[in-house]
Structure 1
Amino acid sequence: MSHDKYGLGRVLAVEQDITVLVDFGAETYRIAAPYAKLVKL
């Protein structure tokens, strides 16, 4: 995945189809739907 602010990341988990847990290397973020700033690569 790629995020406008955080850069390249890897999805670690999908939680109840409303949030995704993404590892961006230095930090891990929980991003809620809609995933407007995430782009699947």
Structure 2
Amino acid sequence: MTNPTSPRRHLPTSPFRTAAPPPAKRFAVGDRVSHDEFGLGRAISVEGDGTIAVLVDFGSRQERITAPFAKLFLL
């Protein structure tokens, strides 16, 4: 019996395309952002054209947030 929660694998001979991966999040200096733990903030520095790490000022603290930016959202 198969596990219904496991993802279906893509066969190389399938005529259907695989799902495209979501685009990488990019941030720029001055962007307003929201973080699940730290709240609202503003990007004050970026590394690697905004795809590697972002230094965010949250008012009372500054945090360096690295990719994959799971909890960081652009406003």
Under a length normalisation based on structure 1, what TM-score does the superposition of the two structures give? Answer: 0.92
Q: How does 1:1-41 map to 2 (within 5 A)?
A: 1-16=33-48, 17-41=51-75
| Runs of 4+ more than 3 Å apart | none
User: 2:69 is paired with a residue of what secondary structure?
Assistant: coil
Task: Report which of the two structures shows the higher radius of gyration computed on alpha carbons.
Answer: 2
| Percent of residue pairs identical | 59
More strand by share: 1
Cα separation, 1, equivalents of 2:74 and 2:57: 14
Structure 1 unpaired stretches of 5+: none
Runs of at least 5 residues in structure 2 that lack an aligned partner in the other structure: 1-32
CA distance in 1, matches of 2:55, 2:69: 12
Bigger RCO of structures 1 and 2 (CA < 8 A, at least 6 apart): 1
Q: How many residues align?
A: 41
* Pairwise CA RMSD: 0.7
